[in-house]
Structure formats: structure tokens, C-alpha cells
A and B are shown apart, each in its own frame.
Chain A
């Protein structure tokens, strides 16, 4: 199979039963994507496939053959952290950090599609993810902070 991950093409022989999360972590050594509940409930394993967030514990690696995957490692650009990463730091949007990769990937997609979400829309966007530190309040605040910072960057305010 061949899959483009963060812009780099990888070709691997894999068993059909290998899950995408394990291809990323164990074969490609991209351990930023976390492997959590294994039941598509917690969202720690969220990556983008062909531009859409998916739970990679419930996608077979072979289903990504010929497709494009983006992981949390790709958020940081040549000029530093992505704004959602910076805002999670600034607003204490993480405690233990286990859910953070999934939260960041969902947050990035939300703001790409909807640059000025309401708090309700933010909560809906992350409703398929679990923070076992129960730090939701600061996660929502971090995503709001990122939206505001990006609005300033665009000159919207």
C-alpha cells in the first residue's frame, strides 16, 4: 500500500487487519497520534484522511491506500506552532496531554471550516472526544482563543 502522510509518500507491505493508528505509530514512528480507547469513543487517535477528521483506530491502514493523511506532527509550520497549538499552551488547554493530538486536529479543522465558531459549536465539534482530566473548559477557551488570534491575524477585528 502507499499512503501520503504529512506530504511524504510511504509504501509498506501491511496485513489488511493493521489499523491506521498502528501504521502511523508503529510503522512510520509518528507517535504524536495517540492510541486510546480502541473503540472510536475517545478521539485521541484523530487524524485527517483526505482532509476530514477520522478516528484512526477504526480505519484499516489499507483503507488509506492512495489517500492523504495528516497527523498532529504536521501542524507546526516553518514559522512555529500552529495557532491552535499555541492557544492550547497559552490557555492551559492540556493537562496530561493524552487527548491533545486529537483535540488539536479537530480544532484545526473546525477553525478552517468555521473561523468564528460559537462555544456551542466548539463543544459540538469536540463532542466525540474525551479528556480524562476533564479539562474541557480550558480546551473550549483555547479553541476560542485561537479563533480570536487568527481573526486578528487576518485583520478581521
Chain B
């Protein structure tokens, strides 16, 4: 039987309560929401917090809305809620593409968006999705709110910009009328972690030239989950198969996969390139030239 070590448990009554508890207990306190990353790690004693702060009652942290030109996703929003959200799918199909392949429907009932990005697992799907979307994280501590671009959010495997006495409250994705987006993943079986995956967000001008592009990579060793070289190569070029192939080659060249039970380095590098091409192709097919849908 897998049982976590002893810990104390508190059910938070407000975000301020969370911050107060985190301050008092220091780095030995951990926030628990869905618990589907943290509880397995506690069972294996890979994590051994002294205090768990349960945020599941903080309804102000959940929900999806559009406000001030941004799609706003509360940190406590469940994966199942994001997948079921018409407004999220309408603006950014990449979110639904990714959610469909994250774990399984029952895990998605419980796991949260904020928990996934704060876990910062190198194989986690939403990290590359939010970096490709150039989302911004809103983090709250004793000094109030501060914002962190998702491209500066990840500090390495399982490490983020969220400090010990802070809590992620929201992710904000700037709306991009007409942009197309997609996420493609290769996994070994239903619900598994990615062998590799890629996400793309593409904006086109009236001539089909790429005006802005975001490319996220999952599970291939990019500390910030972003294929910057491929983006730079694509910006200003006509979105065609030659351009996608060049971007894919750049993504494959610059990623840093490691060999593990999911595959050797050369296979993962090949996937990074090919999935970048496919994500770009699918995102472009969903984009509207000139910015606005007809």
C-alpha cells in the first residue's frame, strides 16, 4: 500500500488565507488542488510536505471568461471544464486539442490547469500550449498580484517562477482574432504522457505571410517549452510546406531530448520536427488571412 508520510492539512477559506499559511509554514507547505501530481509524489515520498493547503473550496479561482481582450482561465479550473468550454475552443482550438489527450476523462475531472503548469513536469502538455500562446500568469503573494509571462514561468523541471509564499491565481491569454492554433501529440497509449508533442499558434496577413507565430514543444528538453529558432525562421515567410519544413528542422535541431523508456534521442528529435510541421499545418488551416474571420 502506498501511503504518504505524515502531514498537516488545512482547507483554505480564501486566497489570502492560502498566502498566510504559506508564509507561516515556509517551503514545507504545499498547495493541493486536484492532487493528481502531488499525491502520487507524496505516496512515493518524492514529495514530503509538512502542510497541505487544500484550495478546492476557492471558487473565485475557477472559471473561464473573456475580459479586456484576454481569455482568462482560473488556476483551479479543471481540465474537464477547459475541454467543455465553448469560449476556450472558439478562440484557441489548441486548448481543446491538448485537453483531449491529457490523461483520461476521470483524471480530467479532478486535475487543474494551475496545478498542471505549477507542477512543471517536462512532459506536461499545457506548458508548451501556454508558451506558444504567449499567455501570462497572474501570481498572488503578500504584496499583491504580479504577472509573469509564461515564457519566463518555467525555471527547469518542476521549478517555476511561483515563490514559496505565492499562489498562481489565473492564466491570461491575449486574444488574437483570426489566429489559428493546434496541438499534436504522440503517446504510447491512451492517456499517457507524450513521447513528444508540439503546439502552434499562427497569425497570417492577407497574403498568407506569417505575421506572428508561437511554437511550443513538450517532452523534448526545452526548459521553456518553446521553439524560438523555429518561430524566428517562420515569421515574415509565406505559410507553406517549405516554410513549415524549415521550421520543423530548426525545432528538431535545437531541442534537447533525453533517452528514456519512451524512446531514444533520435526518435524524439524526429518527432519534434515532424510534429512541429503538423501543428503548423493544422494551425494555418484554422487561421484566417488578414486577421479577422470572414
A and B together in one complex? yes
Chain B residues near A52: list those with CB within 8 A.
80, 109-110
Please tell me if B142 contacts chain A, counting CB pairs below 8 Å: no
User: What is the bound-complex CA distance between A94 and B268, given in angstroms?
Assistant: 39
Q: Which residues between 3 and 17 of chain A lie within 8 Å of chain B, taking CB atoms? A: 15-17
Whether B4 contacts A46 by the Cβ 8 Å rule is no
Whether B3 contacts A55 by the Cβ 8 Å rule is no
Please tell me if A89 contacts chain B, counting CB pairs below 8 Å: no
Please tell me if A138 contacts chain B, counting CB pairs below 8 Å: no
Given A55-B110, A60-B9, also A17-B190 (CB < 8 A): no
Chain B 1-42, CB within 8 Å of chain A: the 1/0 string? 111111111010000000000000000000010011001101
Chain B residues near A65: list those with CB within 8 A.
11
Whether A63 contacts B7 by the Cβ 8 Å rule is no
User: What is the bound-complex CA distance between A41 and B40, given in angstroms?
Assistant: 11
With beta carbons under 8 angstroms apart, the residue of A46, A60, A127 that contacts B190 is A127
With beta carbons under 8 angstroms apart, the residue of A17, A39, A41, A124 that contacts B7 is A17
Chain B residues near A128: list those with CB within 8 A.
103-107, 191
Please tell me if B229 contacts chain A, counting CB pairs below 8 Å: no
Whether A54 contacts B40 by the Cβ 8 Å rule is no
Please tell me if A106 contacts chain B, counting CB pairs below 8 Å: yes
Whether B9 contacts A62 by the Cβ 8 Å rule is yes
Given A40-B40, A58-B39, A59-B110, also A127-B104 (CB < 8 A): yes
Chain B residues near A54: list those with CB within 8 A.
106, 109-110
User: What is the bound-complex CA distance between A4 and B36, given in angstroms?
Assistant: 23
Chain B 172-195, CB within 8 Å of chain A: the 1/0 string? 000000000000000000110000
Interchain nearest-CB distance for B43 vs A (Å): 7
Given A38-B43, A63-B54, also A127-B110 (CB < 8 A): no
- What's the count of A-B pairs with C-beta under 8 Å? 76
Chain A residues near B107: list those with CB within 8 A.
40, 55, 128
Whether A17 contacts B4 by the Cβ 8 Å rule is yes
Whether B8 contacts A127 by the Cβ 8 Å rule is no
Chain A residues near B103: list those with CB within 8 A.
128
Whether B7 contacts A16 by the Cβ 8 Å rule is yes
Q: Closest residue of chain A to B35, judged by CB?
A: A58
With beta carbons under 8 angstroms apart, the residue of B2, B5, B7 that contacts A38 is B2
Whether B190 contacts A53 by the Cβ 8 Å rule is no
Q: Closest residue of chain B to A54, judged by CB?
A: B110
Please tell me if B160 contacts chain A, counting CB pairs below 8 Å: no
With beta carbons under 8 angstroms apart, the residue of B1, B9, B40, B191 that contacts A58 is B40
Whether A17 contacts B3 by the Cβ 8 Å rule is yes
Whether B105 contacts A40 by the Cβ 8 Å rule is no
User: What is the bound-complex CA distance between A34 and B9, given in angstroms?
Assistant: 26
User: What is the bound-complex CA distance between A39 and B26, given in angstroms?
Assistant: 28
Please tell me if B52 contacts chain A, counting CB pairs below 8 Å: yes
Q: Closest residue of chain B to A102, judged by CB?
A: B106
User: What is the bound-complex CA distance between A128 and B191, given in angstroms?
Assistant: 7
User: What is the bound-complex CA distance between A39 and B103, given in angstroms?
Assistant: 12
Please tell me if A43 contacts chain B, counting CB pairs below 8 Å: yes
Chain B residues near A53: list those with CB within 8 A.
105-106, 109
Interchain nearest-CB distance for B268 vs A (Å): 23
Chain B residues near A22: list those with CB within 8 A.
1
Q: Closest residue of chain A to B38, judged by CB?
A: A58
Chain B residues near A38: list those with CB within 8 A.
1-2, 43
Interchain nearest-CB distance for B149 vs A (Å): 32
User: What is the bound-complex CA distance between A109 and B1, given in angstroms?
Assistant: 28
Q: Closest residue of chain B to A16, judged by CB?
A: B9
Q: Closest residue of chain B to A15, judged by CB?
A: B6
User: What is the bound-complex CA distance between A88 and B35, given in angstroms?
Assistant: 32
Chain A residues near B85: list those with CB within 8 A.
none
Could you name 7 residue pairs across A and B whose Cβ atoms are closer than 8 Å?
Answer: A15-B6, A19-B3, A19-B39, A52-B109, A53-B109, A58-B35, A60-B35
Known contacts A16-B6, A60-B9, A63-B54; 9 further A-B pairs (Cβ under 8 A):
A17-B7, A43-B104, A46-B106, A53-B105, A58-B39, A58-B110, A60-B52, A128-B105, A128-B191
Which A-B residue pairs are the 8 nearest by beta carbons? A128-B104, A16-B9, A127-B190, A17-B4, A128-B106, A52-B109, A38-B2, A53-B106
